[in-house]
């Protein structure tokens, strides 16, 4: 499990400064990991957490870095947006390829473990160059507009795609074979991970009062 967690985080994340808060992986009662409603509910939960975390923050608060090597909230948010676009493009390419249900038995990581390892902030790594932030956003309104527009496209894809099609498209990844359902789950879990990082920044000494 430890090796898997490191691979997942190495694939998507950055060197940060401390493990922190827990973000619930539970969703609405009556849903289970593995079904479409769980996926939709998890997207809804993670979007709500992120939106609430950055609501009303000033330019100074968005740009504050606890350490020179740490990311600001601005950079965390941009990284989430860049990564979700990057992963979603990969998912669409995967779905365009022929289904390969015979590979389903190769998948070792469960949906639940994927979420748990992705949101475990004790594992750190450096984000790949294509998803490194460039401090594009200076206000939450613009950033959230881009985030919500992108999430809307992903949610439409989830709703329009039968779950069996998601499960029957398997691809290799740094954490071993995963299917398109798990790939889609990874997007939301990655956002949850960096929402935790945003909360860490807000709780750090020196964070601007306004």
Average pLDDT over residues 31-41: 82
pLDDT of residue 141: 87
Helices within 22-107 (DSSP H only): 36-54, 59-63, 73-96
Residues spanned by the domain of 139: 2-203
Whether 208 is in a domain gets the answer no
For the chain, the domain total comes to 1
Least confident range from 23-27, 46-50, 70-74, 153-157: namely: 23-27
In a domain, 210, yes or no: no
Query: How many Å apart are CA 76 and CA 63, to the nearest integer?
Result: 10
In a domain, 106, yes or no: yes
- The predicted structure's pLDDT at residue 88: 97
Q: Is residue 209 part of a domain?
A: no
* Mean pLDDT in residue range 74-90: 95
Domain CATH number, residue 172: 1.20.120.450
Q: What is the mean pLDDT of the chain?
A: 85
């Amino acid at each position: 499990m430890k090796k898997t967690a490191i691979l997942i985080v190495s694939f998507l994340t950055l060197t940060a400064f401390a493990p922190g808060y827990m973000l619930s992986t539970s969703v609405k009662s009556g849903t289970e990991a593995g079904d479409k409603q769980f996926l939709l509910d998890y997207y809804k939960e993670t979007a709500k957490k992120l939106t609430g975390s950055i609501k009303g923050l000033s330019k100074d608060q968005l740009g504050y870095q606890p350490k020179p090597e740490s990311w600001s909230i601005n950079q965390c948010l941009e990284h989430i947006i860049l990564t979700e676009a990057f992963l979603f493009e990969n998912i669409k390419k995967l779905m365009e390829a022929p289904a390969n249900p015979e590979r389903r038995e190769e998948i070792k990581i469960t949906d639940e473990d994927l979420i748990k390892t992705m949101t475990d902030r004790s594992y750190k790594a450096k984000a790949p160059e294509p998803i490194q932030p460039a401090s594009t956003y200076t206000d939450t309104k613009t950033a959230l507009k881009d985030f919500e527009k992108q999430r809307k496209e992903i949610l439409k894809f989830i709703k329009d795609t039968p779950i069996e099609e998601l499960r029957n498209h398997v691809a290799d990844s740094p954490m071993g074979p995963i299917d398109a359902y798990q790939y889609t789950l990874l997007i939301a879990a990655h956002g949850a991970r960096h929402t935790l990082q945003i909360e860490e920044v807000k709780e750090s000494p020196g964070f601007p009062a306004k």
